[in-house]
Amino acid sequence: MMTLAVVVVVVASAVRLGRVRVFWSWPLRNGEDWFLAQRVGPGFYAGEGAPLLRRYRTCLFLPLALDAPLIVALAATRRFALLMCEQWMALILTLVAYNLILAHFSARATVLVGTPEERPATTVQLSMAPRRLRDHSHRFIELAIAACLLISFFMLGRLQGIAAGPNGDWHAARAVRAGLVTTVWIVYVQVGLLLLKVVFVRWRMPLPMRRTEDFRRWRSAWLRSQLNFVDAVRVAFGLLLPSTMVWLSFKEAWRQVALVLGSLWALAILVLVLFLNREGRRLLAVEREIKPVELVKEFPRPPIAEGRFLAGGLLYWSRDNPGVLVRSPQGIALNLGHTSTYAWAGYFVGLALLMTWMVH
C-alpha cells in the first residue's frame, strides 16, 4: 500500500507541476502586448506588470505548498489509502484554483491598465439554448460509474458478512472499516464532481455582436474540454472503488494483488494523461484558429458591483447580485451572498468533516 501511495503522490504531483509549467507562460501567450485576456500595451512588463506577473506565478505554487503539510502528516501516520484519495481531490481543487487565479489576475491587469471601456452595454446577446446536465451526459460513462458503485457495494456487503461470521477476525473488521471509509469518500467526491459539471454547463457567457458563430464554436470546444476532464476523473474515481474492494478482499495474497492493481493503475493513469493532453491539443487548435481573445475584448466591462467588499476586495456580499464572481475595485470578488457559494461552502465543510472522520 505504501508503494502504491508513493506512486500516486508522485504522479499527482507531476501532473500538477505540469499544469504550473503550462500556466507559467499564459500571461504572455498572446504576445508581450497582452496579460492573459487583457491588452496592456508595450512596456507593461518593464513597469507595473512585473510585480503582477511575479504574484501570478507565486500563486501557481500555493496549492502545492498548502497540500505539502497534509501529505507529510498522512504519510507519517501511515494512512496511505486516505493519502491516495486526498491526492485525487487535491488534483481537482488545484485545477479549479488555477481557473480562479486566471480570472482574478486578468481582471487585476485590467485595473492596472485603466482602459477607458466603462461605457454601459447598449446591446447584449445571450444564448437562449437550454443548459441541462443531461444534454452533456454520456450514457455509457454514467452506466459504467453506476456499475462500479454497485459492484463495490456488493463486495463491501460480502466483507461485512465475513467479518460477522464465525470465522471473522480483526483483519476482516479492519477491511470492512477501510471499505466503508473508501466508499463514503468516493461517493462524496462523485457528488462534488457532478456539482462541478453543473457549474460548467450553466456558466452563462455573453455573445459578441461580431463573429458570433465563431465564439459559439470556441465556447462549445471549451465546454466539451472541461466536461471531458471532469468525466475522465469521475471514471477514475469510479474504478478506484472496486479496485480498493478487490485489495481488501484478497488481503492474504496482497503482494500479487498489489502487483496486478499497480500495473493496471499505472496503465490507467497513462491513458488518463494521454486523454487530457489530447483534449488540451484539440482546444488549443480551436483557439489558434478563432483567437477568442480578439472576441472577448468586444465585451463591455461589467461595472464594479454595488455592495460591501471584504478582505481587500477579494470577497463581496450581496443577496441581490446574480453573479457568484463579480468585478471589484481590485479585480474579481467572490459573492458570499449567492446561494451557490453557500452550497459549495457546505460541500467543503462536509469534506473537512468527512476527512476528520476518516482519520479517526
**One-character DSSP codes across 94-133:** HHHHHHHHHHHHHHHHHHHHT-S--PPPS--EE--S---G
Percentage, residues of the chain above pLDDT 70: 82
Lowest-pLDDT range of 118-132, 258-272, 308-322: 118-132
**Same domain (yes/no): 208, 109:** no
Asked if residue 236 has pLDDT above 80, the reply is yes
Rounded Cα–Cα distance for residues 261 and 282 (Å):
31
Asked if residue 93 has pLDDT above 70, the reply is yes
**Same domain (yes/no): 144, 264:** yes
pLDDT of residue 342: 84
Rounded Cα–Cα distance for residues 152 and 113 (Å):
55
Reported as half-sphere exposure (CB side, CA atoms, 13 A), residue 286 has a value of 19
**Same domain (yes/no): 155, 265:** yes
Domain count, the chain: 3
**Same domain (yes/no): 341, 219:** no
Reported as half-sphere exposure (CB side, CA atoms, 13 A), residue 215 has a value of 18
Asked if residue 122 has pLDDT above 70, the reply is no
pLDDT 10s digits, 61-77: 988 888 888 888 878 88
- Give the cell for residue 85: 484519495
Q: Pick the residue with more confidence: 172 or 168?
A: 172
Rounded Cα–Cα distance for residues 85 and 70 (Å):
12
Strands 38-39 and 331-335 come out as unpaired
Report yes or no on 97 lying in a domain: yes
Rounded Cα–Cα distance for residues 50 and 47 (Å):
6
Q: Distance between alpha carbon 39 and the CA centroid of its chain, in Å?
A: 27
Q: Quick one: which of 30, 104, 98, 22 has its CA closest to 292?
A: 30
pTM exceeds 0.85: no
**Structural domain containing residue 53:** 1-115
Report yes or no on 240 lying in a domain: yes
**Same domain (yes/no): 261, 314:** no
pLDDT 10s digits, 337-354: 888 888 888 888 887 787
Report yes or no on 69 lying in a domain: yes
Q: Quick one: which of 331, 358, 312, 326 has its CA closest to 38?
A: 331
- Residue where one domain finishes, among candidates 75, 90, 115: 115
What's the mean per-residue pLDDT of the chain? Answer: 78
Report yes or no on 124 lying in a domain: no
Asked if residue 168 has pLDDT above 70, the reply is no
**Same domain (yes/no): 319, 285:** no
pLDDT of residue 299: 62
- Residue where one domain finishes, among candidates 115, 148, 173: 115
Instruction: Name the most confidently modeled range: 5-9, 124-128, 163-167, 337-341.
Output: 337-341
Report yes or no on 24 lying in a domain: yes
**Same domain (yes/no): 141, 267:** yes
Report yes or no on 347 lying in a domain: yes
pLDDT of residue 327: 77
**Same domain (yes/no): 208, 225:** yes
